[in-house]
Chain A
Amino acid sequence: AQKVTQAQTEISVVEKEDVTLDCVYETRDTTYYLFWYKQPPSGELVFLIRRNSFDEQNEISGRYSWNFQKSTSSFNFTITASQVVDSAVYFCALLSYNTDKLIFGTGTRLQVFP
């Protein structure tokens, strides 16, 4: 069975704080892809990153960074020096190469206060 767990339902921080959003996944597939999406109040899904199961290199993109640990089946997302505009719901998702289905975690609502 495929499953994505985002244990943090809601996180509140003050601007300029660093924040890490956790994501733990389950899959029996050897080939899979992990994603992070941002969903602002308007509802559209904004793609942030894709990582395939064979690439465990961590990635940094501006204030965003991702830590992929296959040994613990985790794909955590860190926002450095958070800003009010980062307030949104963030979803971690798993795509199975075999089924092509994208399974979402329950999401983490991030609120950044000025």
Chain B
Amino acid sequence: GAVVSQHPSWVICKSGTSVKIECRSLDFQATTMFWYRQFPKQSLMLMATSNEGSKATYEQGVEKDKFLINHASLTLSTLTVTSAHPEDSSFYICSASPDTEAFFGQGTRLTVV
């Protein structure tokens, strides 16, 4: 099946710094990618839809200036958590769909200290 690679798998950063997470589709082109956030013992909540060559579409309640999304190529989307705070600590996971089946990256566990 299709492969989506996410990097890094975990990151620890200091409060106030920015963290970039990459999501790559390895064997297919993805004009659209999705970013999810999962708090411990909770479900995956869609944060935003990343569109290649245009602005991302954010879900209600997600701060676009806080979570910067860039989808500069058909195989790469990045999520940057700017000025991270401890409450941003979470599991972030991306997905892409070559057709109607969603493939997920391995996820990134972000801890802000």
Contact = CB atoms under 8 A, between A and B. Distances in A.
B42 A106 contact: yes
Contacts of A104: 36, 43-45
B87 interface: no
Contact of B102 (A43, A102, A109): A102
Contacts, number: 51
Interface in A2-47: 33, 35, 37, 43-45, 47
B70 interface: no
Given A43-B107, A45-B93, A95 B49 contact: no
B1 A101 contact: no
A15 B93 CA distance: 31
Interface in B66-113: 91, 93, 95, 97, 100-104, 106-107, 109
A95 B102 contact: yes
Contacts of A105: 43
Given A43-B107, A44-B107, A45-B93, A101 B100 contact: no
Contacts of B104: 37, 44-45, 47
Interface of A is mostly: strand
A63 interface: no
Contacts of A93: 102
A109 B41 CA distance: 9
B25 interface: no
B57 to A, nearest CB: 10
A55 interface: no
B78 to A, nearest CB: 20
A43 to B, nearest CB: 5
Interface string A76-97: 0000000000000001010101
Given A33-B101, A43-B93, 5 more contacts: A43-B91, A43-B106, A47-B104, A100-B32, A105-B43
